[in-house]
Structure 1
Amino acid sequence: MRARAVASLWIVLLAGFALGGCGSVAQSAGPQVIAGGASTGIYYAYSSGLAEQMRAAGFDIVAEETGGSVDNLLRVGRGEAMLGFAQADTAADAVAGVGAFKNPLPINAVARVYDEYVQLVVPATSKATQVSDLVGLRVSVGETNSGVMVIADRVLSAAGVAEDSYERREFGLHGSVAALEQGQIDAFFWVGGVPTPGIEVLSQTTPLRMIPIGPETVERMDLGRSSVYRVSDLPLGAYNTSGSVETMMVPNYLVTSSKVPKELVYEATKVLFESSARVSNTVPAVALLDRRQAIFTSPVPLHPGAQKYYVRSRDGS
């Protein structure tokens, strides 16, 4: 019954949205999109699981592989995706129209879904023990238009590693994993939940180690950036590594456009939370979704539809 009601709502609201000329979210042929990330990362797994649950609730929607946070925000801002996953720092840049974004984008948050770890991966045999040791090495900083590249560049700059002092590679997660395994690079950056599937598979054939990112580097990165970064430790035993490794965390948001109708975002937010237990069976990071923490998305404003869900769930209605 609910699926039929949501499907009818979807048709009516998107038809009105298109007639109002509010953007291409409503005007594209075929199903709507959740912008995910690399096929071997958590973004894509999360978006695929969420899309499946939304289809069961009556939405006509699919998950798409993308380049990551910047790409996702651009797609949502242009109306090419209804929803997308993005790092908090990159989403803040999109709202302000700075960094990778020439102009402010109409980005609203649906929820803070989980916190991501910055993972600086090297072979266990590497002589590099700190970020500054990357000078002279071949380093993948992430794919173009990814949040990984945004953070990698900021980490390297804060640690005093000049761009011309190392051999820069721009691979996504899949390319970075393959290049490290084949000895074509010496290190790569990744930002995601732990364990990230692609890195976990790599660790089974190639012993790995994580380079720490200390509090001094994090503090320098956080200056003027709404305090979105914080120091944390990677979970013990991640990727068969030994000992505790200090790194940094950044929140991860599910975002939408401010132009998407309120009722659609309300229904999408409802599915996000009601299906979290089912999706977490295959995507463990989903278990970290917490309704009490989900509303803390500053400086990215919550979409009115998401606000409606949080008020109703708080009131038990």
Structure 2
Amino acid sequence: MGTVGGPALSRRALLRAGLVAGALGTAACTGPAPPPRLVIAGGVQPGVYISLARVLAEIWQARLGLPARPEVLMTAGSTQNMELLIGGRATVAISQVDVAADVAADVIGDAEPLALARLYDDITHLVVRRDSRLRTLDDLRGARVSIGPAGSGYQPIALRLLDVADIGVGGLGERAELGLVEAIEALRAGRIDAFFWSGGVPTDGIRALADELPIRLLDLGEALGRMRERFPVYSVGTVPANVYGLPGPVSCLSVRNVLLVPAAMDGETARALIDAAFAEQPRLAQASPAAVTIDSRSAIGTQPVPLHPGAVEFYRSTKGY
């Protein structure tokens, strides 16, 4: 297909044009104008989100022939990522599905977040020193605890777990809102007794901590049933003992992570993004062991966040939908 009297456009040229148009949106749309190229809302360093976002940026530039590498934003995590996506300051975001679903419930129209894929599952870690007196979630009453920073995806989980345990934030001795790096240093220095974190297993920062300081993860088994009754979006996961040199396996909360774009993105662009990602799945797995589980059959499990129509087309072509 081409214009009269002009050269035919290649599929790659059309796709590149579609990516730019999909990012720009249309002049008739209301709200803030999205950026003129792909911008990926990532996460904290060290963390799985930021690692995957950087590899996705490289994959999309190379396989889609983009003129520039997509920008990768360092963020506090899921909550901030969703704010960036619906506000038009990012065109792609990684988020926990619980946070994404909460946001999607209040957004309609072009800014509505839709999923490209389920990526992998996060495990909520409740980390203490091996010699700590803390043994269960109930023991956090009166303790010095970091619940994660505002804007992260794991602070809402921490708050929900504390509520389920009838502790609440008010029942803590001291509350801190530290990112992963700061929380690790605070635990190492004895300034806090425990910290929450939600991430892939293993998380590099926690594995590095375990290499120099014996740690435990508090078993959340007693609270998980009550948590899932209130919030069915969560599942039960297990951290094997050998991951962090733990005394034994630990029952933890599990939550899915999803790759999201706005509903305004055109179907061809959305399909091209997920197609390229799956074509380079081994590279994603190299970026993080958590991404080893990414495949086209499990990737459709983004409920309660619906898939983008372009992603549906891709999965149907692979017979995964």
- Normalising to structure 1: TM-score of the pair? 0.90
Letter in 1 for 2:122: E
What's 2:199 paired with? 192
What's 2:218 paired with? 211
What's 1:156 paired with? 162
The 8 Å contact of residues 108 and 302 in structure 1, kept in 2 or not, is answered as: yes
The 8 Å contact of residues 91 and 262 in structure 2, kept in 1 or not, is answered as: yes
1:164 Cα deviation after fit: 1.5
What's 1:171 paired with? 178
What's 1:258 paired with? 263
Whether 1:124 and 2:130 are equivalent positions in the alignment is: yes
> Paired residue for 1:180, among 176, 180, 187?
187
* Root mean square deviation of aligned Cα: 2.1
The 8 Å contact of residues 52 and 62 in structure 1, kept in 2 or not, is answered as: no
Whether 1:143 and 2:149 are equivalent positions in the alignment is: yes
Q: How do 1:1-317 and structure 2 match up within 5 A?
A: 6-14=15-23, 17-21=25-29, 24=32, 26=34, 28=35, 31-57=37-63, 58-59=65-66, 60=68, 61-97=70-106, 106-166=112-172, 167-214=174-221, 216-225=222-231, 227-314=232-319
Query: Which residues of structure 2 form unaligned runs of 5+?
Result: 1-9
Q: 1:25 to 1:255 in 2, by over 3 A?
A: farther
1:20 Cα deviation after fit: 3.9
What's 2:4 paired with? none
The SS at the match of 1:113 is strand
Query: CA-to-partner distance for each residue in 1:172-198, whole Å, 9 max, x for gaps?
Result: 111111211221111000011111011
Structure 1 window deviating more from structure 2 (278-287 vs 79-88): it is: 278-287
The SS at the match of 1:291 is coil
Write the distance in 2 (CA, Å) between the matches of 1:229 and 1:274. 29
Q: 1:20 to 1:14 in 2, by over 3 A?
A: farther
Letter in 1 for 2:73: E
1:290 Cα deviation after fit: 1.7
The SS at the match of 1:198 is helix
Query: Which residues of structure 1 form unaligned runs of 5+?
Result: 98-102
1:266 Cα deviation after fit: 0.9
Q: 1:237 to 1:18 in 2, by over 3 A?
A: same
- Structure exhibiting the larger radius of gyration computed from Cα positions: 2
Query: CA-to-partner distance for each residue in 1:99-146, whole Å, 9 max, x for gaps?
Result: xxxx66611111111111110000111010001111111100011011
Write the distance in 2 (CA, Å) between the matches of 1:295 and 1:96. 19
Write the distance in 1 (CA, Å) between the matches of 2:207 and 2:118. 25
Give the percent of matched residue pairs that are identical in Structure 1 and Structure 2: 35
The SS at the match of 1:251 is strand
The 8 Å contact of residues 194 and 235 in structure 1, kept in 2 or not, is answered as: no
Letter in 2 for 1:170: E
